[in-house]
Amino acid sequence: MGKYNPENYKIDFSEYPKIITKTLPGPESVKLHSRAEKYIRGLSSQVKLFPVAFESGSGCTLEDVDGNKYIDFSSGIYVTTLGHCHPKISEAVAKYAKKLMNAHDFTSEIKVRLLEKMAATLPGDLKGFQLYDSGTTAVEAGLRTCRAATGKNEFISCFQDFHGKSGHAVSLARINKISGPTRAPGFYMVPRPDTYRPWWTRCDGTLDTEKYLEFYDSFIRESTTGQIAAFVLEPIQGWGGSIMPPDDFFPKLKKFLEERKILLFADEVLTSMGRTGKILCMEHWGVLPDVVTLGKGFGNGFPVTAMAVREPYSEAVDKISASTSYGGNPMACAAALACFEVIEEEGLLEHAMELEKVFKKCMKDWTAKYKIVGDTRAKGCLLGVELVKDKKTKEPFDEAGKMVYQKAFRKGLAWIPAGHILRMSPPIVMPEEVAVKGMEIIEEAIAETEKELGI
Ligand SMILES: Cc1ncc(COP(=O)(O)O)c(C=O)c1O
Dump pLDDT digits (tens) for 413-448: 999 877 899 999 999 999 999 999 999 999 999 999
Q: Are residues 97 and 215 in the same domain?
A: yes
17 prior amide bond cis, ω within 30: yes
Pocket perturbation via mutation, ligand 1, pick of 44, 140, 163 by most ligand atoms within 8 A of CB: 163
Lowest mean pLDDT among 27-31, 42-46, 310-314: 42-46
| The pairing of beta strand 382-387 with beta strand 228-233 | unpaired
Q: What CA–CA distance (Å, rounded) separates 26 from 19?
A: 9
Q: Are residues 92 and 207 in the same domain?
A: yes
Pocket perturbation via mutation, ligand 1, pick of 296, 298, 300, 416 by most ligand atoms within 8 A of CB: 296
Q: Which atom of ligand 1 is nearest to the CA of 78?
A: 14
- CATH number of domain containing 141: 3.40.640.10
* pLDDT in the model for residue 178: 64
Q: What is the pLDDT of residues 100-152, one digit of tens each?
A: 999 999 999 999 999 999 999 999 999 999 999 999 999 999 999 999 999 99
Residue 389 lies in a domain: no
Residue 166 lies in a domain: yes
Q: Which atom of ligand 1 is nearest to the CA of 305?
A: 10
Average pLDDT of the residues of the chain: 96
Pocket perturbation via mutation, ligand 1, pick of 74, 269, 305 by most ligand atoms within 8 A of CB: 269
Q: Are residues 210 and 256 in the same domain?
A: yes
Pocket (CB within 6 angstroms of ligand 1): 134-136, 139, 162-164, 234, 238-239, 267, 269-270, 295
Q: What is the pLDDT of residues 46-104, one digit of tens each?
A: 888 889 999 999 999 999 999 999 999 999 999 999 999 999 999 999 999 999 999 99
Domain stops at, among 345, 378, 402: 345
In angstroms, what is the span from residue 299 Cα to ligand 1's centroid?
13
Nearest CA owner, ligand 1 atom 7: 135
* pLDDT in the model for residue 44: 87
**Total structural domains within the chain:** 2
Q: Are residues 21 and 137 in the same domain?
A: no
In angstroms, what is the span from residue 294 Cα to ligand 1's centroid?
9
Q: Are residues 160 and 250 in the same domain?
A: yes
The domain in which residue 309 lies consists of 87-345
Q: Are residues 59 and 97 in the same domain?
A: no
Q: Are residues 253 and 313 in the same domain?
A: yes
Q: Are residues 25 and 104 in the same domain?
A: no
326 and 303 Cβ atoms separated by less than 8 Å: yes
446 and 372 Cβ atoms separated by less than 8 Å: yes
Residue 418 lies in a domain: no
Q: Which atom of ligand 1 is nearest to the CA of 161?
A: 1
Residue 257 lies in a domain: yes
Q: Which atom of ligand 1 is nearest to the CA of 268?
A: 1
Q: For the range 104-111, what are the long-range contacts, defined as Cβ-Cβ under 8 Å and sequence gap of 24 or more?
A: 104/323, 105/322, 105/323, 105/324, 105/327, 105/328, 108/330, 108/333, 110/330, 110/333, 110/334, 110/337, 111/328, 111/330, 111/333
